[in-house]
Structure 1
Amino acid sequence: MENSGTGAFLRTRRLESCFNASSTLSAKETPRSSVKEELGSKRRADMYVDEAGLGSVLISWIKIILCFLTMMVTTSVWAVIMLVLLPWPYERIKQGNIFGHVSGRLLLWIVGNPIKIEGAEFSNERAIYICNHASPLDIVLIMWLVPTGTVGIAKKEIIWYPLFGQLYVLANHLRIDRKNPTAAIESMKEAARAVVKNNLSLIIFPEGTRSKDGRLLPFKKGFVHLALQTGLPIVPMVLTGTHLAWRKGSLHLRPTPLSVKFLPPIDTSDWTADKINDHVKMVHELYVRNLPESQRPLALEGPENGSKS
């Protein structure tokens, strides 16, 4: 897989330092706080709320408009590149990733939320990347952070998303029909074949849909099937705070601190088809342990045993 120094620069170290500036300042101020205030702060860490005053709403709208205009420009540029590369599908995948690195970085800079990244050393693995999903910001973070040579799998309706959806299809990423289990399974097999043939990585949301309140949903089995078919390790990406920064159905961006934690790769070489439910449960429990209390399931549910995808 191609991972240039420029790509790594766009996705990790220096920008991470920039985003972490505010959290570093807070750490320096901690000694001046009393023990009681520190404990209270920890209890409130998972429940960030800001004042939704008129000024905050106006700033939010300005940011959203700037993000949309930025996407218009970057999408237009890369759409031309994709059209030129129509005969070369693998090159379109790589260009789609480069588009994501550039656009994701710009959008996150506009939004301005402080971001903490952990486990960045695992972000350049050839692997199946999985991610919890509760906000549009999850997409932006993934665009920025996944390595070059990563193909995405999303619902077929993504083509109707303005700008992003059309470029997603041009970039040769895969779509599945969630309402048609047979077609979804075939799409997964197609993805596995493409990954093995072209030495690609994958990115997938194991919940299958976006959580409404940020709490982790049960995992579907598709990512395990993909691991069995490709032999790739699984790298979990644990996102926190995005559901508060940009809530589902809202156009109000909040300055909530965000966190992205790459967990060590999970070796799948000894996984077997007769233990799929056990594998799903193990990875789901790993997320539960690494998420804050406010994003854990209220009642721990097992994987959707009836899911075929």
Structure 2
Amino acid sequence: MDSAGSGSFLRNRRFDNFFNTSSEPHVKEPPKVPVKQVEHRPPRTNKECVDSDDDDGGWFCVLISWVRIVTCFVTMMVTTFIWALIMVLLLPWPYKRIRQGNVYGHITGRLLMWILGNPIKIEGTEFSNERAIYISNHASPIDIFLIMWLTPTGTVGIAKKEIIWYPLFGQLYVLAKHIRIDRSNPSAAIKSMKEAARAVVENKLSLIIFPEGTRSKNGRLLPFKKGFIHLALQSRLPIVPMVLTGTHRAWRNGSLHVRPTPITVKYLPPISTTDWTANKVDDYMTMLRDIYVKNLPEPQKPLVQEGTITGSNS
């Protein structure tokens, strides 16, 4: 068998030479250079979009993110337009507008979070329907959606006066009788806070405010401002801290890439303010900020022990 196979192999070689009619001497072919294999990576999975630390995470993650953001924008414009018409009809009843604004927030905030697709865990819901001053850390645009959705009906918000320039949403914010303050004018800000406290007491409302006064750029807790302490002293409402974790990774500062990162919202037990006194504002500020430092994960704690108080009253 072996000799037959060898003979066949030699005949095939002679057969090939017979058809080689070139008069050129036979030139040995150069060795083939191996072609570098290009790895074709499949589109990233949802988990890889969560775990990637780069800003884009690959074209698949970016595409999904943009679809979600555009869908959120369109949804928000539609619901805002509908509730703006409702608010116009309710112009003679200002505090009915506040409650209707909360209904808008519950529906719109829940829709937006559903579109973004982040897994959400909510803890301490037994404290979520208190009549209180709700405070929250702020590190992402997603925080706004969560606050809209999760604060109880009859809650008034406090934001910077420039919010009125946000298309449709800013105008609805004003129509809903929420409060705007001028952070560049401390005396005007104090006046707005006093008016807010009076309205809250007279109309049995709750408040929601970000005690840091602005959004953290890296997710770490910022120093608190004094405004909400003065509101508590004037209204004597309990304070319910809301601790948000994971939102800074889900939608990072300055990025248009939204990751499906898991998010936790934790309501802490109400803190009574009935026996608070004006000469201990700094002590209350430190105590509340320490509660956040204790309950936040390591990547969201302050890197250094920053001062807990700023000069602004807002």
- Normalising by the residue count of structure 1, what TM-score does the alignment of the two structures yield? 0.83
Q: Aligned-pair RMSD on alpha carbons? A: 1.2
Query: Quick check: 1:48–1:244 contact (8 Å CA) kept in 2?
Result: no
2:278 aligned to 248, 270, 273, which one? 273
Structure 1 residue 108 and structure 2 residue 120: aligned?
Answer: no
In structure 1, the residue matched to 2:132 is 127
The alpha-carbon deviation at position 263 of structure 1 amounts to 0.3
1:59 aligned to 60, 64, 78, which one? 64
Q: Distance in 1 between matches of 2:228 and 2:59?
A: 43
Q: Distance in 2 between matches of 1:98 and 1:49?
A: 36
SS in 1 for 2:307: coil
Structure 1 spans left out of the alignment, 5+ residues? 1-46
Q: Deviations over 1:91-148 (max 9, x none)?
A: 0000000000000111010000000110011000000000000100000000000000
In structure 1, the residue matched to 2:174 is 169
Query: Quick check: 2:285–2:309 contact (8 Å CA) kept in 1?
Result: no
Q: Distance in 1 between matches of 2:141 and 2:170?
A: 13
In structure 2, the residue matched to 1:13 is none
Q: Are the structure 2 counterparts of residues 48 and 232 from structure 1 closer, same or farther at C-alpha, using a change threshold of 3 Å?
A: farther
SS in 2 for 1:298: coil
Q: Distance in 2 between matches of 1:48 and 1:226?
A: 40
Q: Distance in 2 between matches of 1:295 and 1:253?
A: 18
In structure 2, the residue matched to 1:70 is 75
In structure 2, the residue matched to 1:138 is 143
Q: Are the structure 2 counterparts of residues 158 and 115 from structure 1 closer, same or farther at C-alpha, using a change threshold of 3 Å?
A: same
**Structure with greater proportional helix content:** 1
In structure 1, the residue matched to 2:4 is none
The alpha-carbon deviation at position 306 of structure 1 amounts to 2.6
2:255 aligned to 243, 250, 258, which one? 250
1:221 aligned to 226, 237, 244, which one? 226
The alpha-carbon deviation at position 305 of structure 1 amounts to 4.8
How many matched pairs? 263
SS in 1 for 2:183: coil
Q: Distance in 1 between matches of 2:129 and 2:108?
A: 19
SS in 2 for 1:278: helix
In structure 2, the residue matched to 1:202 is 207
Structure 2 spans left out of the alignment, 5+ residues? 1-49
Higher alpha-carbon Rg: 2
The alpha-carbon deviation at position 248 of structure 1 amounts to 1.6
Query: Quick check: 2:225–2:311 contact (8 Å CA) kept in 1?
Result: no
Identity %: 74
